Structure 1
Amino acid sequence: MTSLFDSYRLGDLTLPNRVVMAPMTRVRAAAGGLATASMATYYAQRATAGLIVSEGVQPSLLGQSSPGTPGLHTDEQVAAWRPVTAAVHTNGGRIFAQLMHSGRVSHPDTTGSRPVAPSAVAAVGEVFTPTGPQPAPVPRALESAEVPEQARSYAEAALRAIDAGFDGVELHGANGYLISQFLSSNANLRTDRYGGSVTNRIRFAVEAVAATVDAVGGARTGIRLSPGGTFWGIEESDVPELYTALLTELAGLDVAYVHLEATADDDVLLGLRRTWPGTLVVNPVLPMGPKQTGRTDADRWLELGAELIGFGRAFIANPDLVERLRTGVPIAPVDEATYYHGGDAGYLTYPSYQHTA
């Protein structure tokens, strides 16, 4: 039986275990979307993960969702990330940058521009702004000629990520952000080649991935998906058909992995496992749901055919999560009030497990 602590070959990387640190927004970047010394320490503390996937990084100013998130669209941002990736590598780790274009989940007070999206349909809920939460605004629908530029923004950011020392990138195609909005049947009301049919709704995702593969190679490119997820008011019709079609197209691009969230029932996810011939990362529990991923959830999905297992919140309070999972010592609880609090409290202040005689 495959163990969570077996090594795994992912592209050109040898992962020492099957544990993936899932991407989690922590809004600790400096002004200008710059990574910081604290971010370098945070990721380096967790470098025993088989693979770290960073917090969402905007590929353009237009793609920024919240204040305090980092970017990969300026030379200064590239330079700021280099000490972060170097710290992870010095500690023996591997790190991909998650590229996250927010689409409609943004606000002019954050970016200085009206958000863009497949259609002029507002997200459900409030978005973070420099002055506090505000209702999500109605975005501007992209013109057909503008859509390829947004797809290419992922590839341009991927090139910057590699320049910054990342081992690869993960496109954020989940949780109601831009790629997810194009996949949606209620956020995407387009009547051109990017909307309507399943073939058209997956087109933007495929073009974004294809451009990224062309830029940095398939072995350095992954994508995260949330089949049937309802984040930010997203709805998707024909979920099995939609994602089967998408994974079939992605298989031809020879990407490093697909990262699925447990946003659909097991029958759907197992059907997608059968469709997808490559490396599968699974987050076994609903992101931001009532339960955190534990050892039992991980072992179950390894038995069901996943190669790698994503752990999110458990990594926040447990920088030594891999060792805790290996030895069975308790998983420390996380202080939710400090998720997006800023500063080092609840960020760098969680200790490794202290063994007592």
Structure 2
Amino acid sequence: MEPTASLSPSLFDPIRVGAWTLPNRVVMAPLTRNRAPGQVPTALMATYYAQRARPDTGAGLIIAEATPVCPEGHGYADTPGLHTPEQVRAWRAVTDAVHAEGGHIVVQLWHVGRISHVALQPGGQPPVAPSAIRAAAKTYLVQDVDGRRVGGFVDVSEPRALRLDELPGIVAAYRQAALNAIEAGFDGIEIHAANGYLLDQFLRRGSNHRTDAYGGPIEHRARLLGEVMTAVTQAIGGERVGIRLSPVTPANDAQDDDPQPLFEYVVRQLAPLGLAYVHVIEGQTGGARDYQQGPQPFDYAALRRAYRDAGGTGAWMVNNGYDRALAEQALAQGADLVAFGRPFIANPDLTRRLREGLPLNPLQRATLYGGGAEGYTDYPFAA
């Protein structure tokens, strides 16, 4: 008799996702590294991503680091933008390097909202937010100390509330950044609607106290996200667009007392857009997978069902603390892709190491943010 084929996909099987055919289901999650002085990508960044793009050893899909869509969207020092011609040209060198290795790369489009500091804002103005509520959070600044650039974490500044007439400009910035991404050679984009940044701030009761059409009931708080997603999918096609959500994370003072109906509403609204994927952080970003907000544990299976029942066809990507065994279990339970974050920092050949059961390089935490090649492009490949 013929052996019975497994009904569950392997982490190393190819998959069609939106406009792309990926060689495996391992995704490199977006990772802020603060190595773009002047907010412009560098040649070192091209090397870093190309190392992780090789189809036989690296990610089936790379999601490049969070990238602000406008000057006001910056909230951390030395993060690359995608809102000037210089930035677009510099990103092109990165995407060319990735494609030369046979890889696929999308960019995560970002507006930090209130998670910023006046030192990073045009003209030293306050950051913008849904409401004028300061976050209990920190950001990363680089200062000149005795001729040296020294980085460190500081409290975020108090924001001002966005005026109603400013919101179309936010939507337009995302749309233009999506077009810039395609010009820069990216295969697509991911909208960052997670981790307590601007779009997530609008979603949550803890940060959105507005009383106009963008605050109050769920459908109002989700309005800006819906407008952004509609704009970018119309601009470049839904098959080249993903979105990142983090239903229960407390990152950057993200709070909501009833996230289940909120995020089920969000994914139902996303379903008709024909997205490439939905990327869900399970639990606390970079922390406990069983972290919860609200009266009961969040039901991620119900979230996926809500998306599918509403006609959503995009791949379902899971993220947070995965190893090979947990990833294979997630695929068996209905996930399509698994994103790995910090393991990809120290292991440019992470997919090969997972497939062959090879040990992982230890992570150098002191070099996570800022600096040069050390702890960035000098991690060894397995022999």
TM-score after normalising by structure 1: 0.94
Task: Give the 5 Å matches for 1:90-239.
Answer: 90-112=100-122, 113-131=125-143, 132-239=152-259
* Mean CA deviation greater in 18-27 or 298-307: 298-307
Aligned residue for 1:293, secondary structure, equals: coil
Q: Which residue of 1 aligns with 2:299?
A: 268
**Residue deviations 1:326-348, cap 9 Å, x none?**
11111222111110031110000
Out of 46, 49, 58, which is 1:43 matched to? 49
Aligned residue for 1:252, secondary structure, equals: helix
Counterpart contact for 2:63–2:108, Cα < 8 Å:
yes
Aligned residue for 2:37, secondary structure, equals: coil
Aligned residue for 1:133, secondary structure, equals: strand
CA distance in 2, matches of 1:224, 1:230: 15
Out of 246, 269, 274, which is 2:266 matched to? 246
Q: Does 1:304 align with 2:362?
A: no
**Residue deviations 1:85-127, cap 9 Å, x none?**
0000000100000001000001110123320000000111222
In the TM superposition, what is the alpha-carbon distance from 1:253 to its structure 2 partner?
A: 1.1
Counterpart contact for 1:110–1:130, Cα < 8 Å:
no
Moved over 6 A (4+): none
Q: Which residue of 1 aligns with 2:67?
A: 57
Report the AA paired with residue 47 of structure 2.
Answer: T
CA distance in 2, matches of 1:297, 1:123: 33
CA distance in 2, matches of 1:321, 1:242: 35
Aligned residue for 2:179, secondary structure, equals: helix
Counterpart contact for 2:116–2:127, Cα < 8 Å:
yes
Q: Which residue of 2 aligns with 1:280?
A: 316
Number of residue pairs the alignment of both structures matches: 346
**Residue deviations 1:314-333, cap 9 Å, x none?**
00010000111111111222
In the TM superposition, what is the alpha-carbon distance from 1:53 to its structure 2 partner?
A: 0.1
CA distance in 1, matches of 2:197, 2:238: 22
Aligned residue for 1:70, secondary structure, equals: coil
Out of 308, 323, 339, which is 1:294 matched to? 323
Q: Which residue of 1 aligns with 2:294?
A: none
* Mean CA deviation greater in 78-87 or 237-246: 237-246
**Residue deviations 1:154-212, cap 9 Å, x none?**
11101000000000000100001001100111100000011110111111111111111
In the TM superposition, what is the alpha-carbon distance from 1:267 to its structure 2 partner?
A: 5.2
Q: Which residue of 1 aligns with 2:361?
A: 332
Out of 336, 342, 363, which is 1:313 matched to? 342
Report the AA paired with residue 317 of structure 2.
Answer: V
Q: Percent identity?
A: 48
Q: Which residue of 2 aligns with 1:69?
A: 79
Q: Which residue of 2 aligns with 1:289?
A: none
In the TM superposition, what is the alpha-carbon distance from 1:81 to its structure 2 partner?
A: 0.5
| Bigger Rg, which one | 2
Counterpart contact for 1:58–1:71, Cα < 8 Å:
yes
Counterpart contact for 2:248–2:298, Cα < 8 Å:
no
Out of 348, 351, 354, which is 2:380 matched to? 351
* Mean CA deviation greater in 152-161 or 267-276: 267-276
Aligned residue for 1:122, secondary structure, equals: coil
CA distance in 2, matches of 1:233, 1:7: 37
CA distance in 2, matches of 1:83, 1:337: 28
In the TM superposition, what is the alpha-carbon distance from 1:151 to its structure 2 partner?
A: 2.1
CA distance in 1, matches of 2:342, 2:207: 28
Q: Does 1:323 align with 2:359?
A: no
Report the AA paired with residue 346 of structure 1.
Answer: G
**Residue deviations 1:295-314, cap 9 Å, x none?**
01211211111100000000
CA distance in 2, matches of 1:130, 1:3: 43
CA distance in 1, matches of 2:357, 2:154: 43
| Aligned-residue CA RMSD (Å) | 1.2
